[in-house]
Every structure is written in structure tokens, then in C-alpha cells.
Structure 1
Amino acid sequence: MDNILEIFSYNRVFTVILVLIGSYAGIKIGSAVLKKMAERYSQKRIQINGLIPIYKLLIYLFALFFIVFGILEVSKESLTALGLSLGVALGFAFQDILGNIFGGFIIIFTKPFAVGDKIQIGSFYGEVTDISLRRILIVTPDDSVVNVPNKAILTENISNSNGGELNCQVVAEIYLPITTDLDKAKKIGIDAAYSSPYAYLKKPVAIRFKYHYDQAPVILMKVKAYVFDHRYEFVFASDIVVRVQEKMKEEKML
């Protein structure tokens, strides 16, 4: 009992609180600085944002070790005994929290995605804006912020649209009359994609046709092209559709 009171003395508890406050402030300030750098150096935005979860983890670990061994001065024997006695109880009481923390470590070390990536996880699609040891924040195309628990990566299917790069593939769909000249439509689709100011010109444009029935038989043309920055994904797709339709009207194909 005396040992416990000595470990958790007033001065030590006060120092622990100061360390926790300092760690929290350090995480907030450091993350904000990295995010500003990412926006300033847009070509390296994904890479810089990817440092944020690692930075947070290092602060967490430093604070934990400093508190346990530097301030409280807990011996290895006491720590082992305490861990064994509390491990089972905490495991049952906080299994959701522990599952999220475990998922957070998986994200940080295996990097299936990073801050700034466009991902689909379960039914949610959007840009990852933050990763912590507890949850992932995703901003959807309609600007909704979705809080996804980290443990979801263990049970949900995940797809990454850009894989750590700024550019990503975009698919624009245009429905055409069944009598459309497909060779001419293909050329118009390719020209529309390459002439868009949002196009990433270092990757190819592909055109796919598919017969479709929607009250009447039509042809579905898919223009697969790459946008230079995934934040313009839907703007790029709309721009392609508008350019294709305008050109086809000019050629009297619509």
C-alpha cells in the first residue's frame, strides 16, 4: 500500500498531468504544421500527410515511457505484475477500444492507406483526413465527415483509389443512342479527356462500350482517364461528360 501511495504521490500525479497536456498540445501543433506543409507543397501532400500518424504514435510512446519509467519509476517487476492482474479485466472491459488501437497499429505499420488517400471502406467513400489510434476520419464527396473505427479494417473490404499518389483513375459514363458510330465516339471521348484542364497526361485514356437496356436499348460509353489531383475526381468526370456531349451535338450525333 505504501509503495502504491509513493508511486502515485501528489507531485508525481501533477507531473503526469502536465506531461499529458504537453503531449496533447504537441500532437495538435505538430499535426497542424504538417498539414499546412502538405497543402503548401501539394506535389508531396500525400507523403507529408502520411507522417502525421507516425508522429502521433511517437508522441504517445514517448509520453507513455516517460510517465511509467521516468516519473512514476515503476520497476519492471511491478509493471509485469500489474499488467497480468489488469490485463484480463481491461481486455474484457475495453475490448472495442483495444480493437481500435490494434487496428491503428496495423494502419500505421502496414499502410493500406494514408492521410490524403481516397478510399472505400465498407459503404463509405472519401478522402482520409486524419488517422489516430482510435479512428479514421473520412470526408465524403458531399462533404460529410465520417468517423470510422480502426477495427473496421479487420472486417471491411478496403480499396484505395490513388495508392499514395495525387492522381487517380476516374470513370465518366455517357449514354449514347444505339445507332452511334462507335469509332467516332471513341475519338471524341479520348479528345475530351485529354483536353480537360484536370487531366493527368502521363497516363493513358481508355474507352469501353457496353450495350445497356434502360426502357430502350442504348450504348454505355465509359471514359477511363486519370485526374491530376484526386480532389478534382468528380469535377473531372463531369467535365468529360460535358465536353463529349457538346462535341457530339456539334457533330449532330445527339
Structure 2
Amino acid sequence: MALGFAFKDYVSSIVAGIVAIYERTYRPGDWVKIDEAYGEVRSVSLRALKILTPDDTVVTIPHAKLWDTNIYNDNSGARDLLCVADFYLDPRHDARLVREALYDVALTSAFIELDHPIVVIVVEKPWGTHYRLKAYPMDGRDQFLFTSDLTVRGKAALTTLGAQPVQGWLGAQSLNGDDTKGSE
């Protein structure tokens, strides 16, 4: 009986592997998030896939996760990978100048892929103004360097403009779950 339960999970992973390979749910080179694991797909076998996380850890995930877990694929077989840098500002600033400055930060990044648009989204919240700087790096493997570059140079540009970040924990607590994430 115990052997039957063990084989049930194994067979479920193999069937899910066939589905994943046939539907191309993920393939080597894709950046995926499954449960709490995020990384680049390195291999897809019949039973499981292996991803390499940003901190250089190999994670083996059985394909059976297809049946009960959301799978987020950031590039789905394409070379392109959208990156997002978030900025949370006190509402007392010139939004037009901030938006232009953030656009210029992305435009002048050494990592930028200029074949795709640069977008700065501005959303007013009760606690302040949320800016999302969205752009594509030349290589998806540079996503963390690119997002860091946008963040560091963006903060410097905002400081030059005199724009102040949201102060205190109260503003951060008002964020919904999606607002607290950077690039995924």
C-alpha cells in the first residue's frame, strides 16, 4: 500500500512532465517562480525541472506542481524580461519632473534594451505617490543588476529633485501585496 502511494506521486510527476514538455509551460532559459523558488530553468526532464536561483542554488521541482501551484513565467521562451523598479514618494513633489527623471534614468542605463518601451507608471495612494519604472534589460540574466542600477540611480535623481521618500512604517503597511514586490 505504501509503495502504491509512493508510485502515485511519481507517476503524477511523470504525467505532469509530459504535459509540461508538450505545452512548453517552461523551457531552459525561462525565468520562473514556483511556490517560493524563483530562478532560471536549467533543465526539464520527464519527472522534474531544475532552476538556478539568483543566489546560485539549484532547486529541483517535480512537475506535479503543475496540478496545484501557480507557475509564473517571466519570459515564456522569449529573450525579453521586464524589470520593474518601485519608488514610493511623499506626495509633495512635481510629478512631471519625477516621471521625466525616472525615464531618463532607464534610458541611460548600461543594461537597457532600447528595442522595447520604457514606461513610468504613476499611481496616487493615500500614503503617497507610487512610481513603477518598467524597462527591459539586454539580457534577462542581468535583471538584478539592471533593477539595482535603476533603483540606485533613480534614488540619486530623485534626491537631486528634492523629492522625499514616504516616511515611516504606516505608509509601507498601506501597500497591497503586489506593490511590495520589485521585478520578478
So what's the TM-score if we normalise by structure 2?
Answer: 0.80
**Residues 165 and 93 of structure 1: is their aligned pair in 2 closer, same or farther, counting only changes over 3 Å?**
closer
Tell me the equivalent position of 1:164.
Answer: 77
Which structure features the higher share of helix residues? 1
User: Partner of 2:43 in structure 1?
Assistant: 130
Q: Which amino acid aligns with 1:119?
A: V
Alignment of 1:224-239 (within 5 A): 224-239=134-149
Q: Which runs of 4+ in 1 moved over 6 A?
A: none
Match of 1:252 among 157, 162, 177: 162
Identical counterparts, % of pairs: 33
Q: Of the two, which has the highest radius of gyration?
A: 1
Partner of 1:142: 55
Distance in 1 between residues matched to 2:91 and 2:24, nearest whole Å: 45
Cα distance in 2 for residues equivalent to 1:194 and 1:134? 43
- Contact between 1:91 and 1:98, CA under 8 Å: does it hold in 2? no
Q: CA deviation at 1:218?
A: 2.7
Please give the alpha-carbon distance, in whole angstroms, between the structure 1 residues aligned to 2:30 and 2:135: 18
Superposition RMSD in Å: 1.9
Matched residue, 2:18: 105
TM-superposed deviation, 1:234: 1.5
- Partners of 2:87 and 2:145 lie apart in 1 by 15
Q: Would you say how many aligned residue pairs link Structure 1 and Structure 2? A: 162
SS at match of 1:128: strand
| Structure 1 residues without counterparts, runs of 5 or longer | 1-89
Gapped runs of 5+ residues in structure 2?
165-184
Q: Quick one: which of 126, 133, 139 aligns to 1:223?
A: 133
Q: Give yes or no for contact 2:48–2:61 (8 Å, CA) kept in 1.
A: yes
Q: Deviations over 1:2-54 (max 9, x none)?
A: xxxxxxxxxxxxxxxxxxxxxxxxxxxxxxxxxxxxxxxxxxxxxxxxxxxxx
Pairwise CA distance, 1:93: 5.7
TM-score by length of 1: 0.59
Give the counterpart letter for 1:245 in structure 2.
Answer: K
* Post-superposition CA distance 1:164-184 (Å, at most 9, x none): 122210110112222121111
Map of 2:169 onto structure 1: none
Secondary structure in 2 matching 1:248: helix
Q: Higher RCO, 1 or 2 (CA under 8 Å, sep at least 6)? A: 2
1:180 match: secondary structure = coil
Q: Give the superposition deviation at 1:101.
A: 1.2
